[in-house]
Amino acid sequence: MIGSIPGITTASTATLAAFGLISCSGWADGPDGSAAVRAAAAVTGGTVPKPVWRPCTGLPAPDQGVSQARYRCATLRVPLDHADPSSGTIGIALMKIPAKGPGRRIGSLLFNFGGPGGDGVDTLAQAAPQYATLNARYDLVGFDPRGVGRSAPVTCVDDRTMDQIAAEDDTPDTPAEETAYLARRASYARACEARSGRLLPHVGTLSAARDLDAIREAVGDPKLNYFGISYGTWLGGNYAHQFPGGVGRAVLDGAVDTRLNTADLGLQQAAGFQRALVDFGAACAKLGAKSCPLGGDGESVAAATGKILASLDRKPLKTSGGRKLTQSLGDTGAAAALYSKQAWPYLAQGLVDAVKRHDGTLLLMLADLQNGRKSSGAYANLTAANTAITCADGSDRYTVADVRRLMPAFRKASPVFGPSMAWGLLQCTGWPVKGDDAAREVSAPDAAPILVVGNTGDPATPYAWASALVKSLGGSAALLTLKGEGHGAYDTGDPCVRRVVDSYLLDGLLPAAGATCG
């Protein structure tokens, strides 16, 4: 994500639609005491306890005509520390949509929709119709990774404080602003340690991959069938490295190049968002000056967008709800709309509203969507989980001097989004957990063939990362390319991508080398 939540992003159109944490009775739980120790002993004794599936409660309301009657929910207990059974257990929230036929049931298909910090239960509940073809022969299974949503969530600050953090300046221009920015970062890290200190060392990808294998065993599958998007490709790749013999059919869509350090990830992501902004601008300009009074081509619209967002630093805009649209919120809202081509009209209208009506309501709604804020003012724990997992997954720790040194490169990569992403390099500075670079390892030459999918117009996980992940995985990993726009490929709805991916997951057929859609 960019702006107030730096990192890899929540993944898809589906994720953007399914934001906000809706409580589900009996699911949200953290590390417990003696009973958990006994349960952990049972887990590590070689048998993962079977989840007890019950009708779900508290899921997001479905679209009209969609029934959730078949949905089932459960909690799977896993060790807090997989290396230490005496650490107790945490609960991993699961949601299952049983295979409906026709055809022979293959097994379960586990989803991770991205993040890090994105939930899987609510997202699958809302996105399930997109995977109806796969649901014929797979039980679709969503889960909230450890530290996320209902699975022992990392907590740091209250909702009012989150409003302040999301709105405050994340591109400091003066010494006073810089001091305030650094103080806010340090205060946030202290709050996370105070509220979730025992959990923080155990929420990274290394532990989440082991949870994946526990879920695989719990649902009774000999191999893990998996669909990972964005950060979910990182998690899936690390699973393949740790458990190469456990890989069944795996799709990694919107790939991350885990070999890159945090600065290079950020630089390439900044360039990706800038490219997407120019592409949006070109589409907007084609509508004509009446519908898009921002410029006559992609570059001019992108430049105008940058000026509009930069002006918010001096003069935030009013919104219908009474909150102000600040520069950081404006940047986040604009970036949110670049995840999906379907959201481009909302960005265009939001920019026009800002210029002509001095109204930031629509851009603020987009920012809230990206930040996991519901209309009620309640936040999902997306920011907290994103930071905790990101900082657990690597040892990179940057200084203000690093930010200043790298700022010209970030500005060159994206005049609009680069500065906030450069300052975002300080996300893990002062974090109480050191981080483990082993989480970046995804080599799995002995695993079953894995299908990696990349979108040439992807802003958040640039296309080059897809071929890099294929190389890192090794073995028989294959690449499918979509010449399109937006984050990820399958959720764009492209019929060619869906046909190829479905054929692989349902029939085990990999595409030919160089396969391209669009």
Enumerate the active-site residues.
Answer: 230, 458, 487
Cα–Cα dist 504/516, whole Å: 15
CB 133 within 8 A of CB 500: no
HSE of 205 in the Cβ direction (CA atoms, 13 Å)?
31
Q: Give the residue carrying structure tokens 């930010």.
A: 403
CA dihedral 345, 351, 353, 356 (to 10 degrees): -130
Q: Which residues, other chains included, contact 322 with Cβ-Cβ below 8 Å and sequence gap of 6+?
A: none
Residue with tokens 């902004």: 277
Would strands 138-143 and 478-485 be described as parallel, antiparallel, or unpaired? Answer: unpaired
Give, to the nearest 10 degrees, the angle between helix 382-392 and helix 175-196. 90
- Strands laid side by side in the 107-112 sheet: 54-55, 72-81, 84-97, 138-143, 107-112, 224-229, 247-253, 450-457, 478-485, 516-517
Judged on CB neighbours under 10 Å (0-12, 13-18, 19+), 102 is exposed
Whole-number Å distance between alpha carbons of 262 and 398: 9
335, 341, 346, 350 alpha-carbon torsion, rounded to 10° = 40
Which tokens hold the place of 52? 């007890």
Q: Nearest 10 degrees: CA dihedral of 132, 508, 13, 482?
A: -130
3-state secondary structure of 328: helix
Given a contact cutoff of 8 angstroms between Cβ atoms, the answer to whether 510 and 451 are in contact is yes
Helix (H) / strand (E) element for 78: namely: strand 72-81
Instruction: Answer yes or no: are the C-beta atoms of 331 and 271 closer than 8 Å.
Output: no
DSSP string, 250-291: EEEES---TTS-HHHHHHHHHHHHHHHHHHHHHHHHTT-TTT
Q: What torsion do the CA atoms of 94, 95, 100, 103 make, to the nearest 10 degrees?
A: -30
Direct distance between the N- and C-terminal alpha carbons of the chain, in angstroms, rounded to an integer: 26
Give the H or E element holding residue 386: helix 382-392
Scan for tokens 């500005």, then name that residue.
411
Vertex 256, ends 252 and 258: CA angle to 5°? Answer: 120
Determine the Cα–Cα distance for residues 505 and 17; give it in Å rounded to an integer.
25
